[in-house]
């Protein structure tokens, strides 16, 4: 598939904050938002800048970013909204957008965190592609379906692979008002996932207290 890139402006969060984030993400973001010297800051940073820091810093742990974006505290929820606000999915078909999104961080291990992150992704994609999905719920269900298909297609542990027919069947009625998505769309997604694995690195750090 095509290489997907987006350019983000580095907000210049001090280097000291990188290490702080990788050891205690929640405290680090609170310190950066407050402009706290503990994070090496000389001024407060906005959620928009925190999001751009996560998108541009090579030094931040992708595990920590994923864990943080799935949290429910006020700072984290405002950060994921800003984070997704920077992602323009308009040029991308669904699996390209999903691949790109999942390359920016590691999905956390906890189901509810994954849920929250994927809901935000689905809403942002639907906003960019109202003609493909009339409801974010459809995009949300389909995103999970693709992640499951990806595991099925590329895991050595699974010998009976899901067929195209099974994949289409599994996604029956997920459109608005129980409508079916076009078979062409589902076929293209199925073939794309089979041809090109979405790399989900399942490295699990110790969760933060």
Q: Within the chain, what is the greatest distance between any pair of CA atoms?
A: 58
Question: Which entry of 74, 110, 197, 201 is annotated as an active-site residue?
Answer: 110
Phi and psi torsions of 38, nearest 5°: -60, -30
58 classed as catalytic: no
Question: Residue 43 in contact with residue 25, Cβ under 8 Å?
Answer: no
Q: Is 122 exposed, middle or buried (0-12, 13-18, 19+ CB in 10 A)?
A: buried
| Three-state DSSP state, 167 | helix
Closest C-alpha to 65, from 77, 74, 55, 75: 55
Radius of gyration of the chain (CA): 18
Residue 53 CB coordination number (10 Å):
25
Residues in the chain: 209
CA distances (Å), 63 to each of 24, 66, 172, 178, in order? 12, 5, 33, 36
Return the active site residues: 110
């Amino acid at each position: 598939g095509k290489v997907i890139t987006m350019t983000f402006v580095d907000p210049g969060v001090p280097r000291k904050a990188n290490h702080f984030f990788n050891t205690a993400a929640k405290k680090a973001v609170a310190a950066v938002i407050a402009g706290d010297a503990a994070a090496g800051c000389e001024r407060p940073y906005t959620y928009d800048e925190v999001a751009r820091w996560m998108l541009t810093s090579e030094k931040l742990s992708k595990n920590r970013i994923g864990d943080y974006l799935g949290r429910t505290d006020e700072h984290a929820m405002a950060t994921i909204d800003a984070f997704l606000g920077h992602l323009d999915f308009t040029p991308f078909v669904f699996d390209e957008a999903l691949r790109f999104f999942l390359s920016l961080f590691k999905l956390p291990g906890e189901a509810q965190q994954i849920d929250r992150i994927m809901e935000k992704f689905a809403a942002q994609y639907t906003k960019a592609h109202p003609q493909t999905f009339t409801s974010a719920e459809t995009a949300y269900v389909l995103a999970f379906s693709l992640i499951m298909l990806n595991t099925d297609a590329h895991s050595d542990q699974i010998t009976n692979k899901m067929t195209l027919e099974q994949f289409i069947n599994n996604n029956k009625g997920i459109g608005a008002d129980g409508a079916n998505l076009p078979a062409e769309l589902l076929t293209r997604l199925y073939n794309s996932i089979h041809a090109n694995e979405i790399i989900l690195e399942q490295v699990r750090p110790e969760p933060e207290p």
